[in-house]
Amino acid sequence: MAFRVLAVAGLLALLPTLASAQPAPRRLVLDDFNRIVALGDPQRSPDGDWVAYTVTTIDAEKDTRNTDIWMARWDGTAQQQLTSSLDNESSPRWSPDGKYLAFLASRGTEDEKKQGAQLWLLPRQGGEALKVSDVKGGLSNIQWSPDSTRIAFEMSDVNPADEPEKMEGWKRKTTPPIVIDRYHFKEDRTGYLTRHYTHIAVFDLATKTATTLTSGQVDDQHPAWSPDGTRIAFISKRAQPDPDRTTNADVWVIDAKAGATPRQMTATPEAETGRPTWSPDGSRLAVLVGDTDTNYAYDLNKLGVIAANAPGPAAVRLLSPTLDRAVFAPSWSKDGQRISFLLEDDRSQHAASVPAEGGTPRRLTGDGMVVAALSPNGADDRHAAVLSTSNTLPELFALDGGTPRRLTRHNQALQAEVQFATAENLTSKSRDGAEVHSILVKPAGWTAGRRSPMVVYIHGGPNGQDDHGFDFTHQWLAAQGYLVLAPNYRGSSGRGTQYQKAIHGDWGHLEVIDVLGAVDETVRQGLADPDRLGIGGWSYGAITTNYTIASDTRFKAAVSGAGSSLQLSLYGHDQYIVQYEVEVGLPWKAQDRWLKVSYPFFHADRIRTPTLFMGGEKDFNVPITGSEQMYQALRSLGVDTQLVIYPGQFHGLTMPSYERDRLQRYADWYGKYLQPAAPTTARQP
């Protein structure tokens, strides 16, 4: 363990806003990617004096990321690095009595690391962190009991296939076959799903023993202690006949002792999600309510409260029934009068709060800011937050009334060196009259009065949004001399339920109309050069790219990463079986609908756009098959194309060198066809 203190100038606490960074002399280069520090999981200490959080950096030489735990003073005068091992540490959690900081880490020998992340305790008064658990398969999602003597956590059943020497008939070095008998049988990163599940357990610090509370062929998640330490609330689909065939999870409560029986607390047709949160007096639980299976892919979390002591499933009372925006991460004020949460809204994400009896939410941060992570309420009902804007890198801030107050400077040096691109809101009308809200990123030093080459970079999801948080891909493309258009097409979040559900079962129609309408608006305003347009995206952004280039030939270059077009071929091959059956139908009963949503493949002969296809070799989310099929189609048709496969990678690339390679290939592919005016150069990884 290393212990490092960085003194922070007193002026830090007086800095008024994120926008206070001074202009920088140079544009972004690819090497800057490795210098960006990611912050997350802020947690205020019980006395309110410190905020623990995670810091993730890139080691370019080792081609890895490393996450350590830091803490910053609430008054902004100091930062302390608490861990500095070569292993990752995560989930910092203060004991309620303030004596320890718990965290998770997988350290030691290779055999010890194979056990999974274990629980470590760092004494608040100083000294080395101590490993206190030895749970086979590891721990996750830890939560302290109110009396600081126990920790609730999630643990997974141990899979015998991980210990082949114990399976009859199998040698130690021979991997047994994977036996599948589940309806939903695969997940990206996890792989093939067997009959092993996640359950709730409790670790006793005095005896160093773990007690499993729940069992069965169902996943139990997100444990939350009652204020008196006698019960644990959690989320589970254990009331469903086949949990694999539904997203409908409910809130359950179990006594925190061996042999207890879980009690169902909600029985809504919608899915409850996230961690249920107890009111300080233990009488109520705050819950997030999603949508039914029919619409789950476009759900919008609503905040509700239930009675925690009801004899059976309780009715959910929505606190802001007319709030047509998604909320996340609720936490109660210490007096039980208000509930704070993250609120997503039209290109921003706010910290907000609402009276516990219901009412209109009050926003704690302004438009144009994106709060990526929010701490639970502190003893003084104030929060710490990780916050960024389109052209300012993320830092930790104090939300204590008025303007957010910066606590850290992890990205200060890079912020001062680079003149980042600026971002503006753009409103357009689609040909059917729909209003679409996009973000338009302009290169540093861009001047009005001339048309520029433009790349349309489409977000994934589709239930997500492009917001004003810092986005390196947008900044990198802008640094090549492009305008970057990020359209929030119908299906995106941030604009309400009906906007999100508009594309239900009708993929590749309204999204394309909205993308083209936004492009038309930039051309109409004299911003984009209509003869130098590019398009691209990852995941559903790539799927929409494929739909668009099969519908319109105006784009001179496209990049399609982790996408698909022949949707029919993905039935039973990716992880979206529930969505396919409720939105499109069974293929043998709805062939016309399946062919309709697969039109980019069947209309590949209409594509004229040179397209770069990319993806991860092990992607179970949108398997590389989708990119291979489109690459083969364009290669057969004589359209310029290339396929790049990243070995060992899943849906989201995680190896820094591959992420850099992807960014450079974006620049090279667009540069080949759009010929921007002064592209920047950067070293290859």
Domains annotated on the chain, with CATH: 333-418 (no CATH), 420-674 (3.40.50.1820)
Could you identify the residue written with the tokens 């998640």? 221
Number of helical (H) and strand (E) elements in the chain, helices listed first: 11, 39
CB atoms within 10 A of CB 422: 15
Structure tokens at 508: 């590749």
- Asked if pLDDT for residue 4 goes beyond 80, the answer is no
Strands 611-616 and 641-646: parallel
| Predicted confidence (pLDDT) per residue in 235-255, tens digit | 999 999 999 999 999 999 999
- Asked if pLDDT for residue 314 goes beyond 70, the answer is yes
Q: Got the DSSP string for 16-44?
A: --GGGPPP-SB---GGGGGGPPEEEEEEE
Amino acid type, 561: G
Averaged over 631-659, what is the pLDDT?
A: 98
Distance, CA of 66 to CA of 74 (rounded, Å): 25
Residue 593: predicted pLDDT: 96
Q: Do 537 and 545 meet the contact criterion of CB atoms below 8 Å apart?
A: yes
Q: What is the mean pLDDT of the chain?
A: 92
E strands, 444-527, are: 452-458, 483-488
Structure tokens at 262: 């879980």
pTM above 0.85, yes or no: yes
Residue 167: predicted pLDDT: 56
| Half-sphere exposure (Cβ direction) of 131: Cα atoms closer than 13 Å | 16
Q: Rounded to whole angstroms, what are the CA distances from 466 to 173, 432, 441, 476, 486? A: 47, 22, 11, 16, 6
pLDDT tier, 9 (very low <50, low <70, confident <90, very high otherwise): very low
| Predicted confidence (pLDDT) per residue in 198-241, tens digit | 999 999 999 999 999 999 999 999 999 999 999 999 999 999 99
| Predicted confidence (pLDDT) per residue in 535-587, tens digit | 999 999 999 999 999 999 999 999 999 999 999 999 999 999 999 999 999 99
Residue 330: predicted pLDDT: 97
Structure tokens at 124: 């608040």
